[in-house]
Amino acid sequence: MNNSFYERLLFEDSIGKCAKALVYGVKNAPDIALKEILRVSEASRIYIFENFQTEDGDLCMHHIYEKCAEGVKPQIDSEDIKVVSYKKNGFSRWEDKLSRRKIIYGDVENFPKSERKKLEPQNIKSILVIPLFVKNKWFGFIGFDYIEKVKRLSDVDLSLLSITADLFVSYFTNLSNIQKIEQQNTQLKYFLKSKDRFLQMLAHDLRNSLLSTIMLTDYLTDELGGDKLSRYYDTIQMINKSTQDTHDLLEELLLWSKEQTNSLQLDLVELNIKEICINIIKVLELNLDSKNISVELISEDNIMAMVDEMVLKIVFRNLLINAIKFSNEGSKIIVSIFKNNGNIKIDVKDEGVGINKEIIDDF
C-alpha cells in the first residue's frame, strides 16, 4: 500500500468521524470536527468565519471557530482579524469570488498586497478558503492555513476538503432550522398565552354583564310575586334561567382559561354535596322538561366533603347535561351519591343508548 493511498484512507476515516459529530449534533461538534480534520490535512490552522452586515450595510466577517496544530499561535482572539471588513480591509477579491461559490487557493506571496498585509503577519505560506452556503445564502467560509511551507494540494485533497466544508454546511443548516423552530415555539407560546388572557378578560366582562341581567330578572320576578296569571311571569322566569345557564357556561370558560395559564387555584371548602347536586338539577329543569325526563336523587342528607364549589358544579353539570342529551324522551336519570373507601362517589346513570363496547375498550 503506497503512502498516498494510506493517507487518503486516513482522511476518509476522519471525514466519517466529522460527519458523525456534525450530523448528530454532539456537544462541541465543530471543535471536534476541526480537530479531526486538522490531524490528517497537514494544515497548520483551520478556522471558520461567519459573515454579518454592520448597521451601515458593510459586509464583514468574524472568527467563530478555530483549531491549530501544536506550536501554532491561535488567531481567534486577535484584534486584527477578529472582525474584518471585506471592502475596507482589502478583501474585495474574496467577497467577489466566495460569494460566487469560488474557492481562494494559492501561495500568499502571489496574493494582492491588501491581502498580504493581513496574512503575512500570521506567517501563512499557502491558504485554501472554501465558501459555506447555508440555505442558498453565503454564510461565510472555512479556511486552511499552511505556515511551515508552501503546500501543493492535489485534486483529491481539494475534493476531500470540500466534503468537509459540505459537512459544516449541513451542521449550520440544521442549527438554523432548530433556532427557527425554537423561535416559532416561543411565538406560539406567546400567542397562546395572549389568547388565554383574552378569554379570561372576555369571560370576566360577559359574566359581569350577565350578573346584571340575572339581578334585573330576579327583581322583576320578586315584583310580580307568585302571580301565576301574569302573562309576563313565566317568560321572565325563562329569561332568568337561560341567563343563569349562560352565566354558568362562562364560568366554565373562565375556569378553562385559568387552567391554560396555570393560574387555577382550588378554593377548597366543606360543602354538602347533595345540596349542590339538587341546585344543579333545578338549573337544568327546562332541559329535563323538554324531553319529559325525571331525575331520581339517591343520597344521605349530610354527605360533606372538602371541594371547590365551582369546579364541582361544572363537573356535575356536564355529567347531567350529557345524560339528558343521550337519554330517550320520558326516561329516568338516577343520580347516586355515596361514600366509597373514604371518598365520595357520584354516579349518574341514564337510560340512553349507551356507548359502543369497542369504544369503551379503547378508553
Cite the residue boundaries of each domain of the chain with CATH code 3.30.450.40: 3-177
Q: What is the mean pLDDT of residues 133-148?
A: 93
> By three-state DSSP, how is residue 339 classified?
strand
Q: For the segment 175-193, what is each residue's pLDDT rounded down to a tens digit?
A: 888 888 888 888 888 777 7
Fold entry, domain 178-265:
Helix Hairpins (1.10.287)
Which range has the worst mean pLDDT, 42-51, 205-214, 312-321?
A: 205-214
> By three-state DSSP, how is residue 41 classified?
helix
Comparison of pLDDT for 269 and 352, the residue scoring more: 269
Cite the residue boundaries of each domain of the chain with CATH code 1.10.287: 178-265
Contact 87, 69 (CB under 8 A): no
Cite the residue boundaries of each domain of the chain with CATH code 3.30.565.10: 266-363
Which range has the worst mean pLDDT, 31-40, 224-233, 272-281?
A: 224-233
Fold entry, domain 3-177:
Beta-Lactamase (3.30.450)
Strands 304-308 and 104-107: unpaired
Residues 6+ positions from 209 with CB-CB distance below 8 Å: none
pLDDT of residue 18: 81
* Amino acid in the structure at residue 294: S
Residues 140 and 324: their CA atoms lie apart, in Å, by: 68
Q: What is the mean pLDDT of residues 149-161?
A: 87
Residues 239 and 218: their CA atoms lie apart, in Å, by: 10
pTM (two decimals): 0.56
DSSP string, 147-178: -SS--PPPHHHHHHHHHHHHHHHHHHHHHHHH
Whether the per-residue pLDDT at 336 is higher than 60: the answer is yes
Whether the per-residue pLDDT at 236 is higher than 50: the answer is yes
List the CATH code of the domain at 266-363. 3.30.565.10
Residues 112 and 114: their CA atoms lie apart, in Å, by: 6
Comparison of pLDDT for 158 and 80, the residue scoring more: 158
Residues 331 and 324: their CA atoms lie apart, in Å, by: 9
